[in-house]
Amino acid sequence: MTQSAALWQHLQQAGLVTGEMPVPNPDDQPPALFLRVLLGASGWLSAVFFCVFIAAFFVSFLSQADTMWGVGVVLCALSIWISRMAKIPLFVEQFIFACSLAGQVFIVYGIWESSASGQLAAAALLILELILFASMGVRSQRATAVFLACAALLWLLGQHAWLYALPVLSAAAAWLWLNRLRFYKGAAYLQPATVGLTLALCATIFIALLANSTELTWLRLAPSNWHTQVWIAAALSSLVCLFLAWQLIQRSVQQPQLRTIALLASVGIGLINLKMLGLAPLCLLLCIGVALAHTRLIWLNLMCLVAYLLLYYYSLNNSLLYKSILLCASGVILLTLYAVLNRYANTLAVGDKAHA
Amino acid sequence: MSANRQQILDWAASGHLDADKLEQALAVTNSLPSSAANLRFLSRVVLAFAVLLLCSGVIFFFAYNWDDLSRYSKFALAQGALIVSLLPLLRINLQQPTGQAAMFAASLLVGALLALVGQTYQSGADTYQLFLVWAALITPWVLIARMPALWLLLLVLLNVSLGLALNALSIRHLFAPFSNLGWSFFALNSTAVGLWMLATQRLAATRLLLWGERVINLYSLLIITVLAIGYVYSWSNPDGLTLPVWAAFSAFWLYLYRLRQLDLMMLSALVMAAIVLTVATLAHALSGIFPNDGLYFLLALLVTGLSSAAAVWLRKLSQHAVLASNSGSRS
């Protein structure tokens, strides 16, 4: 008996499935990560060439901005129409990805040129991405659409409020990850949305971190009250993350003592987040990834955390001695946390063995 | 466990398992890791960050070059930190996470101590000799510990040392037909791959070992592909063996990851490198022949076509591998 058959039988005995085990159709399997990376990278590359081709071919035609976005609309409509066909070959799927990206560039550039208003172009991009998300038949396109929609939203909010997108994105991404299994029925739309929001959240955190450094002051909301704005955004994201962390703790941590420690650690990270904006959402997503055993989410957040810490300490406008003390103190706190976690991990493992 | 989890998710996605019962199905079949496993993983992540932060703190401290501290106090501090980092090894096995973290911290702190020597005696804290001596001093530990992270640290130190040495010694080119300086990095890293494989062939194939090999091999592929693209775009370049070496390296890569042990991720990296090189070569070769607009359209189609063909090939390989493993488990 194969492993799948044994698993099916197990589920049957638990009354969760009925009938014969479905025969797997290799074509129905979603592409593996290595394939998605390959196809995604080549899709973007061919989109660049396709954009340049259209710009070069219609050079005289595209001198008028309104015709430029007209070409973009045609390209996007074409890609939507093809993507909704029942079974499309991989080549066509890749080609419409390139077509759609090229179309989006033309639409946004055309509107930007004709109106000379960044806000209008951002609003157009946001609406366009929402339409693409709802109408595209390819999952990777939907994730890209959500990511670009978030970028448009940040652009639209402008220097007045883009920082406040961070707590909103944190709440949306973490909530969707937490309820990933619960809403599996809508996976075709919710999973790409989750991926797009997570990537947008990571990008926003890094933009906020860079904006906090002295190198990129032009990104600041309002130079006079920048620190107050950062503090409010940090406090909001801490609250959101604490609330969602409590939900995660209730679901995943059974031991009362361990639950208290997890809650204390969450409050601690929430407080540190007031000084290190973006740390709490990254830690929360890492913990959700561990609870769901979602390897890609874990690795994404680990890499983001390493990059975040490097950038944060690098951009601190303090002496090396101050940075050194801060780093050593953080290290000692983490070592203490390691000792506590390791102790409980061993206790739980012993309990599991005894239970088995 | 992860295979079961994926299988259940696939059944839920195809509608054979009611999505409302998904969480229950995962719980009933123990397809999610236990709390102990989760906690152990998180504790290791915390330990890794703790070691990195502490070592960075020590390095930053010496970089501050505090005038109020005498040189003897500084040396005492640096050596004290090194000894403290090694202390856990008196009680803990090197194979345990704490032991490995202690060994990694000690290897980093050797660098801090050498930088202090360079700072104190005005020989410089960023010379190639420093990184070379650092690499040499930690080599015995690397050999004893057999830790992928330490191997990678050693390789990073050698790469940095090589880069600084080429700059410091004003070496602008090597000998023909390998005159580009990139060849020295390629030689260093491809040798490291070979040594890595020799050293680890008798060890149990863990994920970390696999990733260590992948990282070094991918870096070597990146170097040789950049060299090949550079060669294509400057035909006067005397490195006539660049493309044959790229082809030989690709053949070796195919042998490693197609014939010896199927690794689809590495094959897809090779395919991506081949697509980029092909596109760069054709773009250069056809730029005078085709009009610009036609050339770009051709390149867009070429990238799409090549990547789709590669994806079909990789998908077939993946399906064959799944079928083979299924029939293996049946028998």
> Which of A3, A10, A37, A42 should we substitute to test contact with B (largest number of B Cβ atoms within 10 Å)?
A42
Same domain? For B223 and B151 the reply is: no
Q: B157: which residues sit within 8 A by CB, 6+ positions away? A: B111, B131, B132, B134, B135, B138
Domain end position, chosen among B113, B139, B171:
B171
Structure tokens at A346: 């061993």
Q: Given CA atoms A333, A334, A340, A343 in this order, what sign does their dihedral have?
A: negative
Chain A CB contacts of B1 under 8 Å are: 293
CB B134 within 8 A of CB B114: yes
Give the nearest partner residue to B311 out of A7, A38, A187, using CB atoms. A38
Same domain? For B123 and B187 the reply is: no
CA–CA separation, B115 and B81 (whole Å): 14
Chain A CB contacts of B58 under 8 Å are: 324, 328
Q: Say yes or no for a CB contact (<8 Å) between B49 and A334.
A: yes
- Region B286-298: mean pLDDT is 84
ipTM for this prediction: 0.82
CA separation, residue A71 to residues A43, A135, A172, B61, B294 (Å): 19, 19, 34, 59, 18
**CA within 13 Å, CB half, A329:** 7
DSSP B249-313: HHHHHHIIIIIIS--HHHHHHHHHHHHHHHHHHHHHHHTTTS-HHHHHHHHHHHHHHHHHHHHHH
What is the model's pLDDT at position A306? Answer: 92
Q: Say yes or no for a CB contact (<8 Å) between B54 and A22.
A: no
What is the model's pLDDT at position A35? Answer: 79
Q: Say yes or no for a CB contact (<8 Å) between A328 and B57.
A: yes
Same domain? For B164 and B203 the reply is: no
Q: Say yes or no for a CB contact (<8 Å) between B271 and A34.
A: no
DSSP A167-224: HHHHHHHHHHHHTTTTTGGGHHHHHHHHHHHHHHHHHHHHHHHHHHSGGGGGG-S-GG
CA–CA separation, A263 and A75 (whole Å): 51
> Which of A179, A183, A324, A352 should we substitute to test contact with B (largest number of B Cβ atoms within 10 Å)?
A324
Same domain? For B115 and B155 the reply is: yes
- Interface A–B counts its CB contacts (< 8 A) at 244
Structure tokens at A351: 């309990």
pLDDT tens by residue, B15-37: 778 777 787 888 788 787 788 88
B255 lies in a domain? yes
For residue A290, count other CB atoms closer than 10 A to its CB.
22
Give the nearest partner residue to A345 out of B36, B293, B307, using CB atoms. B36
Q: Say yes or no for a CB contact (<8 Å) between B64 and A45.
A: no
- Region B248-269: mean pLDDT is 89
DSSP B236-247: T-S-TTHHHHHH
Does the structure show a pLDDT above 60 at B193?
Answer: yes
B12 lies in a domain? no
From B112's Cα to the closest Cα of chain A, the distance in A is 13
CA–CA separation, A232 and A243 (whole Å): 17
Chain B CB contacts of A342 under 8 Å are: 40, 43, 47
Buried b (16+ CB within 10 A) or exposed e, B203-213: eeeeeebbebb
**CA within 13 Å, CB half, A216:** 12
- Region B135-139: mean pLDDT is 94
B6 lies in a domain? no
Which residue of chain B has the CA closest to A52?
B296
CA–CA separation, A125 and A123 (whole Å): 5
> Which of B20, B26, B42, B66 should we substitute to test contact with A (largest number of A Cβ atoms within 10 Å)?
B42
Q: Which residue type does B175 have?
A: F
pLDDT tens by residue, B35-71: 888 888 899 999 999 999 999 999 888 888 777 788 8
Chain B CB contacts of A332 under 8 Å are: 50, 54
Same domain? For B315 and B191 the reply is: yes
Does the structure show a pLDDT above 80 at B102?
Answer: yes
Chain B CB contacts of A93 under 8 Å are: 308
| pLDDT bracket for residue B328 (50, 70, 90) | low
B150 lies in a domain? yes
Q: A219: which residues sit within 8 A by CB, 6+ positions away? A: A159, A207, A210, A211
CA–CA separation, A314 and B237 (whole Å): 40
From A189's Cα to the closest Cα of chain B, the distance in A is 12
State which residues of chain A have pLDDT below 50. Answer: none
What is the model's pLDDT at position B236? Answer: 56
Q: Say yes or no for a CB contact (<8 Å) between A349 and B57.
A: no
CA–CA separation, A241 and A244 (whole Å): 5
CA separation, residue B320 to residues A8, B101, B315 (Å): 23, 40, 9
From B275's Cα to the closest Cα of chain A, the distance in A is 9
Same domain? For B206 and B248 the reply is: yes
Structure tokens at B112: 């801090």
CA separation, residue B250 to residues A244, B60, B76, B177 (Å): 48, 42, 51, 19
Chain B CB contacts of A290 under 8 Å are: 33, 38, 41-42
CA–CA separation, A92 and A126 (whole Å): 26
Does the structure show a pLDDT above 70 at B258?
Answer: yes
Same domain? For B161 and B200 the reply is: no
Structure tokens at B284: 């250069």
Q: B214: which residues sit within 8 A by CB, 6+ positions away? A: B263, B265, B266
Same domain? For B100 and B217 the reply is: no
Q: Say yes or no for a CB contact (<8 Å) between B36 and A49.
A: no
pLDDT tens by residue, A49-64: 887 887 777 766 666 7
Chain B CB contacts of A291 under 8 Å are: 32, 38
B233 lies in a domain? yes
Chain B CB contacts of A354 under 8 Å are: none
Q: Say yes or no for a CB contact (<8 Å) between B297 and A7.
A: no
Same domain? For B163 and B182 the reply is: no
CA–CA separation, B59 and B111 (whole Å): 8
From B252's Cα to the closest Cα of chain A, the distance in A is 20
Q: B248: which residues sit within 8 A by CB, 6+ positions away? A: none
What is the model's pLDDT at position B8? Answer: 83
What is the model's pLDDT at position A26? Answer: 59
Task: Specify which of A47-51, B132-136, B254-258, B259-263 reaches the highest per-range mean pLDDT.
Answer: B132-136
Answer with the residue of higher pLDDT: B144 or A194: A194
Same domain? For B119 and B186 the reply is: no
Q: Say yes or no for a CB contact (<8 Å) between A331 and B38.
A: no
What is the extent of the structural domain holding B164? Answer: 33-171
Same domain? For B70 and B131 the reply is: yes
> Which of A1, A16, A27 should we substitute to test contact with B (largest number of B Cβ atoms within 10 Å)?
A16
- Region B186-195: mean pLDDT is 90
pTM across the whole model? 0.82
Q: A35: which residues sit within 8 A by CB, 6+ positions away? A: B264, B268, B311, B314, B315, B318
Answer with the residue of higher pLDDT: B97 or B123: B97
DSSP code of B203? S
What is the model's pLDDT at position A156? Answer: 87
B313 lies in a domain? yes
CB B125 within 8 A of CB B119: yes
Which residue of chain B has the CA closest to A289?
B38
CA–CA separation, A284 and A175 (whole Å): 10
Same domain? For B164 and B235 the reply is: no
CA separation, residue A48 to residues A51, A93, A163, B148, B246 (Å): 5, 16, 30, 38, 26
Give the nearest partner residue to A94 out of B7, B66, B307, using CB atoms. B307
Domain end position, chosen among B152, B171, B190:
B171
The total number of structural domains in chain B stands at: 2
CA–CA separation, B268 and B286 (whole Å): 26
What is the model's pLDDT at position A62? Answer: 62
Structure tokens at B89: 């090894």
Domain end position, chosen among B130, B153, B171:
B171
B50 lies in a domain? yes
CA separation, residue A250 to residues A178, A247, A283, B174 (Å): 12, 5, 17, 63
What is the model's pLDDT at position B156? Answer: 94
CB B299 within 8 A of CB B282: yes
B23 lies in a domain? no
DSSP code of B87? G
Give the nearest partner residue to A184 out of B7, B22, B47, using CB atoms. B22
> Which of A1, A27, A45 should we substitute to test contact with B (largest number of B Cβ atoms within 10 Å)?
A45
Q: Say yes or no for a CB contact (<8 Å) between B22 and A181.
A: yes
